[in-house]
Structure 1
Amino acid sequence: MHRLTAAFVLAGLLAGASPAFAQDAAAGEKVFLKCRACHQIGEGARNLVGPELNGLIGRKSGTAPNYSYSAANKASDLTWDEATFKDYIRDPKAKIPGTKMIFVGIKNDKDIDDLVAYLKRFGADGKTGS
């Protein structure tokens, strides 16, 4: 009897934990507020202190049009896939020493996952796919 109860408790915990790992673009939009002072995304986005972020996932680092990147960023030879971006946004200066991005990073894994889901919505033209 106790084993059955323990199994149900464990199953409930696992079921309750799985949504925490799902990416949530709506929550990511709120996380993006931390980025908005320097970056824009969406139709009509332009470069500010940092480059516009349309089509970021899949884009080569240092290639947003008309943005003056640091030599370190241009030479990084990174392509922004999910894993690379997640590592970068956690600690930008550790991932690209010499970057001019002054940001302490986002440490919470759920916030990072949600931010990625939000960024992935925008194509290079700034239009959303969903």
Structure 2
Amino acid sequence: MRYSTVLIGLSVAILSVAGARAQDAGDATAGATVFKKCAVCHVADSDKNKVGPSLFKVMGRTAGTHPGFSYSPAMKAAGAAGLVWDTASLRDYLHDPKAKVKGTKMAFPGLKDDKEITDLEAYLNQYK
């Protein structure tokens, strides 16, 4: 009986971790809806800059370095200091852009909902 209890407990733990990882992956379709808030200034599916820089292949990019975009001195400095867009840095920035990069010229106040950010990341990851 003790052996089966351990196996059941282990199975529940494995399923919980698998479920959490699936949830962490986000929903790209929902992310497309969230991206509409960003699409006024950004594109994700091409290298074309708008009022904001293209977010095409943004993951892994050093901040302030997309060709042809005129970044704020603060964003250039953040990139020079080693800010690279990954899950953690993008999440921090999207929560509160002006707190993450003081002096950024991005006027967007940020996304407060973690699920929206996770879904947005899933959407952006389609354009690697």
TM-score strictly above 0.5: yes
Q: What corresponds to 1:24 in structure 2?
A: 27
Aligned to 2:75: 73
Q: Does 2:111 correspond to 1:106?
A: yes
- Taking only aligned residues, the RMSD between alpha carbons, in angstroms, comes to 1.8
Q: How far apart are 1:108 and its partner, in Å? A: 0.3
Number of residue pairs aligned between Structure 1 and Structure 2: 109
Which residues in structure 2 correspond to 1:84-103 (within 5 Å)?
84-103=89-108
Give aligned-pair identity as a percent: 49
Q: Supply the distance in 1 between the matched residues of 2:27 and 2:55 (Cα, whole angstroms).
A: 18
| Cα offsets for 1:73-129 (capped at 9, x unmatched) | 000031001100000001000000000000110000000000001111102xxxxxx
Q: Normalising by structure 2, what TM-score?
A: 0.78
Deviations 1:6-46 (A, max 9, x none): xxxxx8xx7xx856544111110110000000001214x41
Poorly superposed stretches of 4+, deviation over 2 Å: 17-22
* TM-score (structure 1 length as normaliser): 0.77
Query: How far apart are the structure 2 equivalents of 1:94 and 1:73?
Result: 12
The 2-side partners of 1:122 and 1:116 are apart by 10
Q: Distance in 2 between matches of 1:96 and 1:116?
A: 19
What runs of 5+ residues in structure 2 fail to find an aligned partner? Answer: 1-11
More divergent stretch after superposition (18-27 vs 96-105): 18-27
Q: Residue 39 of structure 1 aligns with which residue?
A: 42
| Distance (whole Å) between structure 1 residues aligned to residue 26 and residue 66 of structure 2 | 25
Do the aligned residues in 1 keep the contact of 2:25 with 2:122 (CA within 8 Å)? no
